[in-house]
Structure 1
Amino acid sequence: MTLEMRELQGDDLFSLLAIVGKLDIKDDFIALFEGNVDSEKVVTMDHKNKKPSKAQIADMAKKEKEAEKRGMEAMAGLMQKVLMNSGKLKTDINVLLADLTDKKPEEIKKLNLKDYTGLIIAFFKKPELADFFSSIASLLQ
């Protein structure tokens, strides 16, 4: 059984903040995202054609790949934290997943292990979740 999840909305912020708050991971969270802060925002242009040079484009692509890798590592680390603390988060997670799938928490609890795990993984792959974590990380710094 494959459940479809709706896109995260503004009102979901409160559920997400409650879950993150129960994990007590502020320091871990900041450490996971520290590497993604890029202090070099100015890109000098090639003085002849007013575009970044090939070397600068290659450097920007390399930095983008590194940031993407750190982002994936951060998401994996956060997912591990959630799973390790699932006992104290079980109700919150089931309520959130139920809301996102337009089901009742009791229906989510009764999913077989494969479907339940798939739902959690699909949740962590949501692009808007990465936006949420990036926003929270910038607020905590």
Structure 2
Amino acid sequence: MTETTDEQKKLLEIKQAEKKTKIKERLFGYTMRELTANDVFKIVDIINILNVAELATDFLKQKDAAKIQTQKAQGLALVAGKKTGAEQESLTEQIKAIQEDISSQSFEYVSKAAKFVLTHSNEIKVELNSLLADLTGKTVEEIGQTNIVTYSLLVKDFFAKPELKEVFELLF
């Protein structure tokens, strides 16, 4: 039974690597620069149009939960350093589970934010396309003509930017 589980894990890793490769291929030619001070005004315009206070509140809750989980993982890591054998392995597995949970929650938030923006895209089309064009060095027309999958990935990448999270913390 363990062999099957190991095989399943390897297949899952291969599928994830293939998915990442496909995403990278989709985004070929689209490099998003770091956010700057001038971008804050465009972001605030989009936030105001969408009235996304709930989304920002969800982000802050997710961030606080992740911080607590990170502290727990750090505590377990300290304890694991003092243990030997099976106890250390058990604690290491718990740490990995916490890290995976944090990653999953972050992905869930980014996906929720991107989905929210895409479902309200008519309201912010001009502002969002302008922002994405500026961030990628493309024209607004090029962004508007982008394949829908690539466009969705660009929106998702925008919401995954660490600077954006920091801006949300400051604004809300």
State the TM-score, normalized to the length of structure 2: 0.61
* 1:24-58 per-position Cα deviation (integer Å, ceiling 9, x unaligned): 12223322452442325251334468xx9433322
Correspondence 1:14 to 2:41: yes
Structure showing greater Rg = 2
Q: Distance in 1 between matches of 2:108 and 2:166?
A: 17
Correspondence 1:84 to 2:119: yes
Gaps of 5+ in 2: 1-25
Q: Cα distance, 1:78 vs. partner? A: 0.6
State the TM-score, normalized to the length of structure 1: 0.72
With over 3 angstroms needed to count, the CA separation of the structure-2 counterparts of 1:28 and 1:8, relative to structure 1, is same
Q: Distance in 1 between matches of 2:42 and 2:51?
A: 15
Does the CA contact (< 8 Å) of 1:8 and 1:129 recur in 2?
no
Letter in 1 for 2:55: D
Indicate the residue corresponding to 2:163 in structure 1: 132
With over 3 angstroms needed to count, the CA separation of the structure-2 counterparts of 1:95 and 1:106, relative to structure 1, is same
Q: Secondary structure at the match of 2:68?
A: coil
Q: Cα distance, 1:129 vs. partner? A: 3.2
Indicate the residue corresponding to 2:98 in structure 1: 63
Q: Cα distance, 1:89 vs. partner? A: 0.6
With over 3 angstroms needed to count, the CA separation of the structure-2 counterparts of 1:48 and 1:119, relative to structure 1, is closer
Q: Cα distance, 1:9 vs. partner? A: 2.8
Correspondence 1:75 to 2:106: no
Instruction: Please provide the CA RMSD for this pair.
Output: 3.1
Q: Secondary structure at the match of 1:6?
A: coil
With over 3 angstroms needed to count, the CA separation of the structure-2 counterparts of 1:29 and 1:107, relative to structure 1, is same
Using CA pairs under 8 Å that are at least 6 residues apart, name the structure with larger relative contact order, 1 or 2.
1
